[in-house]
Amino acid sequence: MINNKMKLSFGIALSAIGAFAASAQAASLDPTFGSAGVASTAFGYYGAAARVVVQPDGRIVAAGQSALGEFVLARYTASGALDTSFNGTGKVNTTPSGSCPGQARALALQADGKIVVAGTSCPNFTSTRNFTVYRYNTDGSLDASFGSAGKATVNFYAGASEATAVAVQGGSIWVAGYAGNGFALARLTSSGGLDYSFGSGSGSITTTVGTGSAFANGLAIQADGKPVLAGYASSGGTVFALTRYTTKGALDTTFGTGGKVLTNVGGTFSGNSAIATSLAIQSDGNIVAAGYANSASGGSYRMAAVRYTSTGALDSYFGSGTGKVLTAIGSGDAIGSDVAIDANGGIVVGGYSIVGSYRQLTLNRYDSYGNQDTSFGPVATAVGSANAAVQGLALQSDGKIVVAGYGNSPTAFVVARYQ
């Protein structure tokens, strides 16, 4: 997947790990969590967590997939032990019907504690992937009041579709990803049916972005109810792509150009590659997209963060006036997979970097102007002698950072907490 050889244009803040100073305040694993800060949970011979949330009571839920194509969840106590009040074991396996493996990609928590997991499967034993959403009760059982026995699917006539992001707002459940070659977004009611007040009576929309294929990876709902999507689109390579819609599902023409924004992060050269994997909205309405983009030498990817104003313009107060930052970490690719805004306005990005022979859990933090926070890190954590990566992160109310992804051999859910 990561094989492009690219260059970097001027005007982007590029920093290398060798320039980072260690500090007594650097982020470190929380020894009160799991085993020396890390909890590992096996689901057969393969399990990988895609996203994580922290409940108001401090318990932690991670969702992802197994090698058998199951949607799998694990819930932990605040100390990192499996929570046996959740399905009796702390773990839940759900197998979607159909002819292709299921893949859980996104996770959200409702105000009533119910857990929403979104991804893809091939329902009705067809070969076409569809948005697939499950809702679970607080004890880990499927919520029979949602969809059909706890499961809802969305078919897009544009073609195969995969959900990669989910958000809950009031009684609405928003699900985003791709369908055919474009961005896709659906709004469900609290009972799991399509909300026909959205998308001109269909409950869903698709959007052509860029000059070829486009894929939405991140979703956030603004305070005014407008949904924002972030991902990538083809445009002389791939670029960060964002769209914003009205609450009824029309492109919001007050955002970017006709509701769309395309950003060359690493440069404008032919074949450049940049992918936004996640999205967060600041309290002031500014929008942060994080992911990765090519660097100037060797083709390695750099962790990337781009900030936009509420109108979709690059924020000149961020990234030395460019609106963009790229950070090299380790000896190879550095990938940003999820982003969150902390209580001080800092931007925390989690993913992986290559340190030595393996990928490692990696966290990085930028201040509100896009400067590297050298008092924080970056922090790279090995998990055994195997590849490991952060795929989701969440912030606790006390400021501690919870990450989830994969690691160990055989590959298992890995949840870690940093202080």
State how far the alpha carbon of 317 is from the alpha carbons of 8, 239, 241, 313, in Å: 21, 21, 20, 11
What are 321-349's pLDDT values in tens digits? 999 999 999 989 999 999 999 999 999 99
Q: Is 5 a domain residue?
A: no
Q: Is the peptide bond before 101 cis (omega within 30 degrees of 0)?
A: no
Q: What is the CA radius of gyration of the chain?
A: 20
Rounded to the nearest 5 percent, the helix, strand and coil shares of the chain are 0, 50, 50
The CATH number for 225's domain is 2.120.10.30
Q: Is residue 3 part of a domain?
A: no
When divided into structural domains, the chain yields a total of 1
Task: State how far Cα 369 lies from the chain centre.
Answer: 22
- Segment 279-297, tens digit of pLDDT: 999 999 999 999 999 865 5
Give which of 290, 260, 296 is closest to 275, Cα–Cα.
290
Contacts within 8 Å (CB) and 24+ apart, 406-409: 406/47, 406/48, 406/49, 406/64, 407/40, 407/361, 407/383, 408/40, 408/383, 408/384, 409/384, 409/385
- Whole-angstrom CA distances from 245 to 66, 204, 220, 375 are 34, 12, 11, 38
Q: What is the pLDDT of residues 220-244, one digit of tens each?
A: 999 999 999 999 999 888 999 999 9
- Strand, coil or helix: what is 19? helix
Structural domain contains residue 261: yes
8 A C-beta contact, residue 304 and residue 265: yes
Instruction: Please tell me the predicted confidence (pLDDT) of residue 2.
Output: 37
Cβ proximity of 169 and 225 under 8 Å: yes
Cα 99 from Cα 181, distance rounded (Å): 22
Is residue 2 assigned to a domain? Answer: no
Domain membership flag for residue 4? no
Among 330, 341, 327, CA closest to 372: 327
CB 308 within 8 A of CB 243: no
Tell me how far apart the alpha carbons of residues 95 and 105 are, in angstroms, rounded to a whole number: 15
Name the pairing type of β-strands 38-41 and 412-418: antiparallel
The pLDDT value recorded for residue 14 is 36
Kindly report the three-state secondary structure assignment for every residue of 287-317.
EEEEEEEECCCCCCEEEEEEEECCCCCECCC
Task: Note down the domain range covering 141.
Answer: 13-418
8 is a domain residue: no
Low-confidence ranges of the chain (pLDDT < 50): 1-24, 298
Number of H helices, E strands in the chain: 0, 29
Whole-angstrom distance, CA of residue 406 vs CA of residue 359: 10
At 357 the pLDDT is: 87
Following DSSP, what letter does each residue of 136-182 receive, concatenated?
E-TTS-B-TTTTBTTEEEE--TTS-EEEEEEEEETTEEEEEEEETTE
DSSP letter, residue 86? T
Under 8 Å between Cβ of 189 and 172: yes
| Residue 361, pLDDT score | 98
Residue 1 placed within a domain: no
* Beta sheet of 115-121, edge-to-edge order: 103-109, 115-121, 130-136, 151-154
Query: CA 407: distance to chain centroid?
Result: 18
